[in-house]
Amino acid sequence: MTLLDCGGRPLDLGRAAIMGVLNVTPDSFSDGGFFLSRERAVAHARQLVEDGADIVDVGGESTRPGAQPVSVQEELDRVLPVIEVLRDTVSVPISIDSSKPEVMRAAVAAGAGFINDVRALRADGALAVAAELGVPVCLMHMQGEPRAMQTDPRYTDVVAEVRTFLAARLTACHAAGIEPARLVIDPGFGFGKTLAHNLQLLRGLAGLQTLGAPILVGLSRKSMIGLALGLPVEQRLAASLTLAVIAVANGARIVRTHDVRATREAIRMYETVYTN
Ligand code: YH5
């Protein structure tokens, strides 16, 4: 049975774990300033935990297709106040969703115990900082950069290429002194992939298990559902739950989702049927 030590807070992977998404990006709503956006984010995080989140993923950089880069200072200003409050108000581990070593270091100092990096520690200095911090790290595959990654994604064999990329990042982490027991891998659904690529990856997900690291997936509300079923983002719950269950059936151990309670119920029901 796998237990990840997230800076002193355990994450039990004996059953699939639910990672609740907490976006701290001020794009969609304007408000009375930092205090209001911090209070709103903290309230949302507490709701995610009440709904059954096993870990909360705090992100201050939008990595959606077409998103513009954010400065280190802007990202710190968004996430640090929220992490500081959550450290003292929720008991589950806090994940920092960032690719910037300066943000990783400050977030872990403020109370984060897990690094979720959509760039798999490829930024300058990120490998060394992650080695020094000692917390678990999720390494995600992405082809290109968010701004242009959906322009013309190309693969000969998407499952093989994602697998080879993740194997190389695991090797780079080992070489940098990061213990294998704290590494998690993620195929990066929607990150430089067409609908066909995403479907091939989901069907081939179990093939990543031989890399020896727990698999995390993020499928919640993603465009692949919109493309497959013609649904707007607010009508993607049922399809997201279906994809989450398929992922767990194919080896996923952490599921990143906006809809914690429903995702937890769907996965627990699946596990009730298939676990003796
Ligand atoms: C992920 O897969 N994804 S941010 C576009 C959407 C809906 C949702 C409306 N961070 C992942 O959630 N971290 C994100 O269309 C992630 N794995 C890991 N490890 C993108 C997102 C989203 C994008």
Determine which one of 9, 105, 169, 222 is catalytic: 222
**Best mutation site among 19, 119, 191 for ligand 1, i.e. most ligand atoms within 8 A of its Cβ?**
191
**For ligand 1, atom 2: residue with the closest CA:** 218
Q: Is 253 a catalytic residue?
A: no
Q: Is the CB of 192 under 6 A from ligand 1?
A: no
Q: Is the CB of 62 under 6 A from ligand 1?
A: no
Which two tokens mark 230? 């013609």
pLDDT at 35: 72
pLDDT at 42: 96
Residue 29 has pLDDT above 50, yes or no: no
Which two tokens mark 124? 């300058």
Domain architecture of the chain: domains with CATH: 14-275 (3.20.20.20)
The mean of the pLDDT values for the chain is 95
Q: Which of the 8 DSSP states describes residue 157?
A: S
- Biggest CA–CA distance in the chain, Å, is 52
Mean pLDDT over residues 24-44, rounded? 75
Q: Is 222 a catalytic residue?
A: yes
Q: Is the CB of 235 under 6 A from ligand 1?
A: no
Q: Give DSSP secondary structure letters for 202-239.
A: HHTGGGGGGG-S-EEEE-TT-HHHHHHH---GGG-HHH
The 3-state DSSP class for residue 199 equals helix
pLDDT at 66: 79
What is d(CA 5, CA 10) in angstroms, rounded to the nearest whole number? 5
What is d(CA 138, CA 234) in angstroms, rounded to the nearest whole number? 27
Q: Give DSSP secondary structure letters for 100-139.
A: -HHHHHHHHHHT--EEEETTTT-STTHHHHHHHH-S-EEE
User: What sign for the dihedral angle of Cα 99, 128, 107, 264?
Assistant: positive
Find where tokens 């705090």 sit.
58
Q: Is the CB of 61 under 6 A from ligand 1?
A: no
Over residues 115-164, the pLDDT tens digits come to: 999 999 999 999 999 999 999 999 999 999 888 888 889 999 999 999 99
Residue 242 has pLDDT above 90, yes or no: yes
- Angstrom CA distances, 169 to 100, 149, 162, stand at 16, 20, 11
